[in-house]
Every structure is written in C-alpha cells, then in structure tokens.
Amino acid sequence: MIYLDHNATTPVNPAVAKLVGDVLIEGGNPSSVHGAGRLARRRLEVAREQVALLVGADPRHVLFTASGTEANNQALRGFPGHTILTSAIEHDAVLKSSEGAGRIPVDSLGRIDLEALEKLLDGLSGPVLVSVMLANNETGVVQPVRAVANLVHARGGLLHCDAVQGPGRLPMDIRVLGADLLTLSAHKMGGAPGAAALIFREGAEPAALLRGGGQERSRRAGTENVPAIAGFGLAASLAGESLILMTHVEALRDQLAEDLKARGGVIIAEEAERLPNTLCVALPGKPAETQVMTLDLAGFAVSAGSACSSGKVKRSHVLVAMGLPDEIAGSAIRLSLSPATSADELARFVAAWARMTG
C-alpha cells in the first residue's frame, strides 16, 4: 500500500512508538504522590515543555486533551456569553461545536474573506470569539491568520486557530500568528492518537469541558494519557526535522500536480499558498468515492472531501463554500504526502490515476 493520506493520520515516528511503549510499561498515575506517580508527572511536564516550545507558548498554558476534536470543542464551548464566528471551511470539530454561529465566507481559492469578517465584526456587540484554521485539511490552503488576529483584536475579541495540519509542515508560533488559542493533535505529526492540546495565551483560558477531577489544573478532568502525551512531546520536538524537508516535499507535490494536469486533472486552489504536502485534484466526470475505491484496489490510500452517508455522496462543505461547480466538487480527491514519500511512489500513482481517465 502506498500511503498518500498523511493529513488524515501520519504514521507514528518509530522513536515515538518506542517511547509510548516504554512509558506505558512504566505505568504510574501523575496524580499519585509516590515515586511511580512522580515519574509519570515528570513525563507529562517534559511533554508540556516540548509542545509549548514547538509553538512559542508558555508551558503553563498547554492543556492536554485526548484529540484535536476535543480541544476544538473546549475552545468553542469554553467562552459562554461570547458571540462566535468561524470560517465556513473549518473542520466539523469546529463547525459542529458552534452550531448557530456566524460563518465567514471564503473566496474561490478557499481563503477567508477579510472584508466580510470586518463587516460581520462591525455588526456585533459584546464579547466575540472567532475561529479560523491555520491550513485547510482538504485543500491545504493556508489562511491569513495574522491579518484575522489584527481585525479580531482591534474589536477586543479572541481568536482560536485550529492548527492541527501545521506542525512539521509550516513554521508556527502562537505569538507570530497572533492567536489566543491554538489546537494541535499528536497523530497528525508523528505522535500516537489519544493526545492533543489546546494552547492558550494569558487572559484566554477556556472553561472546563470535563469536570470531576483536578487534572490539568482543573481545566480537564480525567487521568491523563501519559504514554500518548509523552510521545506527543517527542513528536513536537522532532517536527522541525520534517519542516526542513518540506521544500523537497513541495517539489514532489508540484511535479505530481503537473503530471495529473497533463492527464486531465484539475488542481484545486493551485494559485493559493498551500501546505507543501497537500494536493486536491478533481477528475471531472468521475465521482470522488469511485476514485478512492478504485485507487484503494490498486494499492493507494487517498481520501475524498465528500463523504458517503446512507448511500448518498455528500459534497465537501469546503469545496462548496469555495463556489466550485458540482462536477469539480464531486470529483475531487485529496493527496497528502510526507517526507517519506518518494518520486517513484508518485510515478506509480500517476499511472494508476491515469487508468481511471480512460
């Protein structure tokens, strides 16, 4: 199987897998006062510093959660009384935890419409929380988070940024981005599933979602997943290694785009700044679900923005928000690479993809 679905989950780094296994066997509950507990606590606090360092945050402001979805829920539900605005292309973990919120439109390249945001902000009174992702998981389009932060802060509001797709692919610092809250998830960056974080800045502490224990300074009750969190810390400290390989990954991605275009592919948001590892490509006339299944049988793991539910293919809300016509939105698949992806694998992919065009 040639794996081209790194935006869904990227394989765990072998050093991380070893650490997770070791810490699992080590055991101990970080809330216990004995030696085993103190060791587990140390594992947790080292990881907190490693994750904080990745994004230029204060370790005291790193709140560990079990998933990016949970971190997004806590950000969006953690400020009762705030009016919420999110972009129209957020992950469901943001959209479904802010039902009834205002949605900021995007342009045809999938970039947030700053003028529309300004107008929406002008029409509001009272405290505001805005959520805009760093980079879209389907198209890879990078959002102008700093510019959004400036508008939101001028209005006295808070900005949450779902940065799950960023580590190891884009340089990222919470102070440079200007975000007040940031979501990360370990399994998108070489860590194990089961660990993620909501990172916040002074004055932007969200209310607890889970109650019933004093863990995470009472911000999130429940015994911590110390093995996965320790692995998350190591993955965070290794993200820089992946980042320096992104120029190479981007060159492979761009060659892939040229090869697919030459065979009838339509590249989505090609002119926009995108994650260097991500390519969203449509094959008009061929439903995305059919492509994903055909490619799976040929030995390639890719994904479709559209999801099949009760036998009906639902168009990707991201591509729909970009105003793409049905024949493009319904026939787009996502290819996401890693530094381990080779030119030879991509050449084999192009051959398999081209067989679908005949």
Say whether residue 336 binds ligand PLP (CB under 6 A). Answer: no
67 or 242, CB closer to ligand PLP?
67
The residue within the footprint of ligand PLP, chosen from 164, 197, 236, 282 (CB under 6 A), is 164
For 300-327, letters b (16+ CB in 10 Å) and e give bbbbbbbeeeeeeeebbbbbbbbebeee
121 or 318, CB closer to ligand PLP?
318
121 or 249, CB closer to ligand PLP?
249
Q: Count residues near ligand PLP (CB under 6 A).
A: 13
Q: What is the largest CA-CA distance in the chain?
A: 67
Residue tagged active-site, from 307, 308, 313, 320: 308
Tokens, residue 295: 């490619």
Return the axis-axis angle of helices 145-154 and 114-122, rounded to nearest 10°: 20
Tokens, residue 334: 């996502």
Q: Among residue numbers 80 through 99, which ones bind ligand PLP (CB under 6 A)?
A: 91, 93
Give dist(CA 304, CA 4) in Å, integer: 12
308 as an active site residue: the answer is yes
Say whether residue 69 binds ligand PLP (CB under 6 A). Answer: yes
Say whether residue 160 binds ligand PLP (CB under 6 A). Answer: no
Burial of 119 (0-12, 13-18, 19+ CB in 10 A): exposed
Instruction: Name the minimum Å distance from CB 96 to ligand PLP.
Output: 11
The residue within the footprint of ligand PLP, chosen from 88, 130, 133, 275 (CB under 6 A), is 133
Instruction: Name the minimum Å distance from CB 148 to ligand PLP.
Output: 16
The residue within the footprint of ligand PLP, chosen from 6, 74, 162, 201 (CB under 6 A), is 162
**Span of 19-27, 61-69, 266-274, 312-320 interacting with ligand PLP by CB under 6 A:** 61-69
Give dist(CA 92, CA 108) in Å, integer: 20
Give dist(CA 67, CA 83) in Å, integer: 24
Give dist(CA 205, CA 19) in Å, integer: 30
Say whether residue 316 binds ligand PLP (CB under 6 A). Answer: no
CA distances (Å), origin 205, targets 145, 158, 183, 210, 218: 20, 11, 13, 14, 12
**Residues within the interface to ligand PLP (CB under 6 A):** 67-69, 72, 91, 93, 133, 137, 162, 164-165, 185, 196
| Catalytic residue annotation | 308
